Amino acid sequence: MTIGDFIKRRRTELGLTLEEIGKATGVGKSTVKKWETGSISNMRRDRIEQLAKILQVNPVIFIENDIADYDQAINRTRRVTTNNISYRILALMKYKKLSFYDLSNYLSVDTDGLRNFILCSTDDEKFNDPRLIGIANALGLKSVELLTGYGLNIDEDTDSYINYIFQKIDEDLPLTQNEQLTLEDFLFENDNFSYIAVQIPVLGYVKAGIPMTAVENIIDYEEISQEQARTGEFFGLMIKGDSMEPKISEGDVVIVRKQETVENGEIAVVLINGDDATVKKFYKTDAGIKLVSTNPTYDPFFFTPDEVNSLPVSVIGKVVELRAKF
């Protein structure tokens, strides 16, 4: 049985006219007639979903060449989990134990861009994006199956957690570092994948009284491993000036773990008098605090214990990695 024969038989069985099918799918009755006669064999994906809905069948039927058994095709399992394509992708990633990192490698695209595409783009944007076909291939599906959700069975825990993630996104609330980790854990169900990327903000400046993650502070994003992210809370900071030359240059990004103390000789991010944070080698003695530049043309800063308390002078993080510009 051809697809056209199937459409006509099913339409007749349900007592539907050509006009009714056309109205439900947004085409004229002449187009429906051409579907039935086989004059038009390639339907748009949105038409496939609309046609499947009015004929009460699985849309996958319409991407097959022929139908061997009419009754089997009619009774094919039809499970619709959600109208959100992103939801389906995450659910299948969980089932396949694939991370955003895995998918981006498969597609040879940027991990951040792919994560944002999956989580934040609309269904319409996904529909016309070639990455969707690649994602479907990676998940072992045809793109129409991913678009429609047919054959996808989602357990209660998966349903609850994915809806929580999308509720935050819908409310325009960014995912915290811990939520990104939890999402990756949720997808992977394995704590031993240290290469999974976690996104952290890169700040242009840090000042007292201004939240570090305030939107106006964020100028870019960097990625750290899941293993590293588990050791604390991190942010990136864009370096200004040449006081830490030759090791750290202006425009470089340093990865900083938030902490209030560091060991002598370690490079710290220090906030002085509520002004912009400075990046210096840190030394503390009974006489006070000394901040040292690696550029010998800059003199060290000295602060007495009274100045440390009155200004104040406070450590807000330790530099753990340098992402040098090229």
As annotated, the active-site residues are 243, 280
CA distance 38 to 7: 10
CA distance 123 to 121: 7
Is there a cis peptide before residue 300, judged by omega within 30 degrees of 0? no
Q: Is 108 left (phi over 0), alpha (psi -120 to 50) or beta?
A: left
Q: Is 299 exposed, middle or buried (0-12, 13-18, 19+ CB in 10 A)?
A: exposed
Q: What is the DSSP letter of 204?
A: S
Q: What is the DSSP letter of 167?
A: H
CA distance 134 to 142: 10
- Residue 302: name the closest of 310, 293, 290 by CA: 290
CA distance 27 to 24: 8
CA distance 101 to 184: 10
Q: In terms of C-beta distances under 8 Å and separation of at least 24 residues, what long-range contacts does 284-291 make, across chains too?
A: 289/313
The CA-CA-CA angle for residues 52, 139, 159, to 5°, reads 75
